[in-house]
């Protein structure tokens, strides 16, 4: 995301306005504040007084401010399209085995105190299959295109390189991402799954937890990734981006207003293991 447009900016109070401006300073994003009234509020006037900005009152002039599409930051949006083997057609599903455990019914608990775990050693489960460069590029492009929410995007991206369940993702705290090198810590003091462990973040994915960490800092939230009640939102994001785990043979389809649509079976791995096949 290289641009942010805020509608009804005249309704922002001082605190929310300063948060938006802090985000602008930290990210150098192209920020547009739309005021639905003849004049700026006193709060907006004061906040913008010492900042470089342009004011306009006509739609044509506002469009002219955008000009040509700006180049994306080097660590942000990937190219607009990427062919991924058989998934080069628009709207096709990208099937990734690292999503197998997203809805697993495990229940790791977060640490209650400081914890800086070592690198994961994969003693308790196989390491997830790394995405190919083309898969990583396409998955990142789809996540960027389908949501601007930094925590939901980071949760889905984290699943792709950790193979973690949603409950594991919710144990990540706001200070559990570190840059240079990019590392993400997940917690499990009772060793229900992987124990407390740090995961290396591949270069294609680093922008997502980095944005989530900035969001957590600005909003004061304790969670780095999606919160405990947001699993449906993460699954909806994955389906909207047409990312799914391997599906059972002859997976069912449902019909909708837009024609046929595959019904994603998220718990097939759990069911298969429960029945021993």
Which of 66, 85, 119 terminates a domain? The answer is 66
Decide if 77 is inside a domain.
Answer: no
What pLDDT shows up at residue 230? 93
Which of 46, 66, 86 terminates a domain? The answer is 66
Claim to verify: residue 115 and residue 45 sit in the same structural domain: no
Claim to verify: residue 153 and residue 248 sit in the same structural domain: yes
Decide if 24 is inside a domain.
Answer: yes
Claim to verify: residue 261 and residue 191 sit in the same structural domain: yes
What pLDDT shows up at residue 238? 96
Claim to verify: residue 140 and residue 16 sit in the same structural domain: no
Consecutive sets of 10 residues in the chain, 277 residues long: mean pLDDT of each? Answer: 80 85 81 84 85 82 63 43 48 91 85 89 88 94 93 97 94 93 92 90 95 92 91 95 90 48 79 70
What pLDDT shows up at residue 252? 58
Decide if 80 is inside a domain.
Answer: no
Decide if 71 is inside a domain.
Answer: no
Decide if 89 is inside a domain.
Answer: no
Decide if 72 is inside a domain.
Answer: no
What whole-number distance in Å separates Cα of residue 194 and Cα of residue 199? 11
Q: Give the closest residue to 103 by CA, choosing from 272, 273, 267.
A: 267
Number of domains in the chain: 2
Decide if 230 is inside a domain.
Answer: yes
What pLDDT shows up at residue 89? 56
What pLDDT shows up at residue 213? 95
Claim to verify: residue 137 and residue 229 sit in the same structural domain: yes
Claim to verify: residue 26 and residue 111 sit in the same structural domain: no
Predicted TM-score (pTM) of this structure: 0.69
Q: Which structural domain, as residue segments, surrounds residue 24?
A: 3-66
What whole-number distance in Å separates Cα of residue 55 and Cα of residue 34? 10
Claim to verify: residue 229 and residue 109 sit in the same structural domain: yes
Claim to verify: residue 124 and residue 8 sit in the same structural domain: no
Kind and range of the H or E run holding 260: strand 259-262
Claim to verify: residue 20 and residue 145 sit in the same structural domain: no
Claim to verify: residue 150 and residue 253 sit in the same structural domain: yes
With H, G, I as helix, E, B as strand and everything else as coil, classify residue 33.
strand
């Amino acid at each position: 995301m290289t641009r942010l447009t805020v509608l009804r900016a005249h309704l922002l109070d001082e605190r929310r306005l300063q948060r938006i401006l802090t985000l602008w300073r930290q990210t150098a994003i192209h920020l547009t504040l739309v005021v639905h009234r003849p004049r700026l509020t006193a709060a907006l006037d004061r906040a913008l007084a010492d900042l470089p900005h342009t004011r306009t009152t006509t739609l044509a002039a506002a469009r002219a401010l955008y000009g040509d599409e700006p180049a994306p930051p080097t660590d942000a949006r990937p190219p607009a399209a990427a062919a991924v083997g058989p998934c080069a057609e628009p709207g096709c599903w990208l099937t990734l085995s690292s999503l197998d455990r997203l809805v697993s019914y495990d229940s790791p608990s977060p640490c209650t105190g400081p914890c800086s775990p070592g690198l994961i050693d994969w003693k308790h489960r196989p390491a997830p299959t790394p995405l190919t460069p083309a898969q990583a590029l396409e998955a990142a492009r789809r996540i960027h295109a389908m949501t601007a929410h930094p925590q939901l995007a980071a949760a889905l991206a984290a699943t792709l390189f950790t193979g973690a369940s949603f409950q594991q993702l919710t144990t990540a705290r706001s200070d559990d991402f570190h840059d240079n090198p990019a590392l993400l810590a997940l917690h499990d003091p009772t060793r229900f799954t992987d124990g407390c462990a740090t995961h290396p973040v591949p270069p294609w994915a680093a922008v997502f937890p980095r944005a989530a960490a900035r969001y957590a800092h600005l909003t004061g939230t304790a969670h780095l990734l999606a919160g405990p009640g947001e699993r449906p939102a993460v699954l909806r994001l994955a389906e909207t981006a047409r990312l799914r785990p391997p599906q059972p043979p002859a997976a069912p389809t449902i019909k909708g207003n837009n024609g046929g649509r595959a019904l994603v079976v998220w718990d097939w791995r759990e069911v298969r293991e429960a029945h021993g096949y």
